[in-house]
Amino acid sequence: MAEQLRLMAVHAHPDDESSKGAATMAKYVADGVQVLVVTCTGGERGSVLNPKLDRPDVWANIAEIRRAEMDSARAILGVDQAWLGFVDSGLPEGDPLPPLPEGCFALQDAEVAAGPLVRLMREFRPHVVTTYDEEGGYPHPDHIMCHKVSVAAFDAAGDPERFPELGEPWQPLKLYYDIGFSKAKIMALHEGMLALGKESPYAEWLERWEGRPDKGPRITTRVECASYFPVRDDALRAHATQVDPDGFWFHVPMELQQQAWPTEDFELVRSVVDSPMPESDLFAGVRETVHAR
């Protein structure tokens, strides 16, 4: 029998897996790929963004609630999931910014903090790993640390001289960064809303875009997964404390999303296999290598 393909997606908090690359994961699960979501922190210091749940009883049990939400989202996506066990750093606000809490994820030494992820990589043996870019997708301290730890673990997992106590070496074949939004994607959704005679939730976003870098040119890989957008949204709604069901994320009609931008987009940043660019499959070049073994 052919070896089963395996995908590992490394995220900072519970809910990140449902807002970044979730439809891609659901598609690959349906295709028979084994998918493991790795969640670096428990999301203990995140905000309650659903006004219906901004209550004292929710705040008093936020860590347990977020774990239960993660269980629900995991089941919807059909993935496996593992916790790295680090403590949420929170998103500092103010001028000047306050110091980060002692012991939080973002204050760890990235090379040391990569150890638990190296262990998981050697146990799960992923062929492909996805994570955030050097800015964390957006500059949350935990997202930036997630990037650092993921890259460090990808580079260390296959090296028998590094972390020898953490299992047999395993070298993943490809590393990707999620590219959640490009200017072209935002424009496509914005113009689609206007064409329907609806108010666009992206108007202010585009106004603020002036002078900001566009990550669109970095995209190497577009995975067509529009039919799994409803699964993505169901998983996101499962993180009920983190998402307002009447909020921004759900203003664009599903049919428009599927027509205007039917892919989730990634940047290939490490590869030990050959695959022609641009790609439409995270496992391009990997399938041939694995099936040849």
- In DSSP terms, 36 is beta-bridged to 8, 80
Residue 13 is assigned to a ligand binding site: yes
CB 18 within 8 Å of CB 81: no
By three-state DSSP, how is residue 232 classified?
helix
Cα-based distances in Å from 9 to 6, 22, 40, 174, 177: 10, 10, 11, 12, 10
With tokens 């699964």, the residue in question is: 231
Residue 133 is assigned to a ligand binding site: no
Cα-based distances in Å from 196 to 200, 255, 263: 10, 11, 21
Beta carbons within 8 Å of 111's beta carbon, 6+ residues apart: 152
Please give the single-letter amino acid code of residue 60. Answer: A
- In DSSP terms, 174 is beta-bridged to 128, 271
Phi/psi of residue 222, nearest 5 degrees: -120, 115
Indicate the angle between helix axes 229-238 and 62-77, nearest 10 degrees. 160
Indicate the angle between helix axes 62-77 and 22-30, nearest 10 degrees. 40
Phi and psi based region of residue 103 (left: phi greater than 0; alpha: psi -120 to 50; beta: remaining): left
End-to-end CA distance of the chain: 11
By three-state DSSP, how is residue 4 classified?
coil
Residue 291 is assigned to a ligand binding site: no
Phi/psi of residue 25, nearest 5 degrees: -65, -45
Let me know the angle formed at the C-alpha of 281 by 280 and 284, rounded to the nearest 5 degrees. 115
Binding site membership for Zn(2+): which residues?
13, 16, 143
Q: Which residues are annotated as a binding site?
A: 13, 16, 143
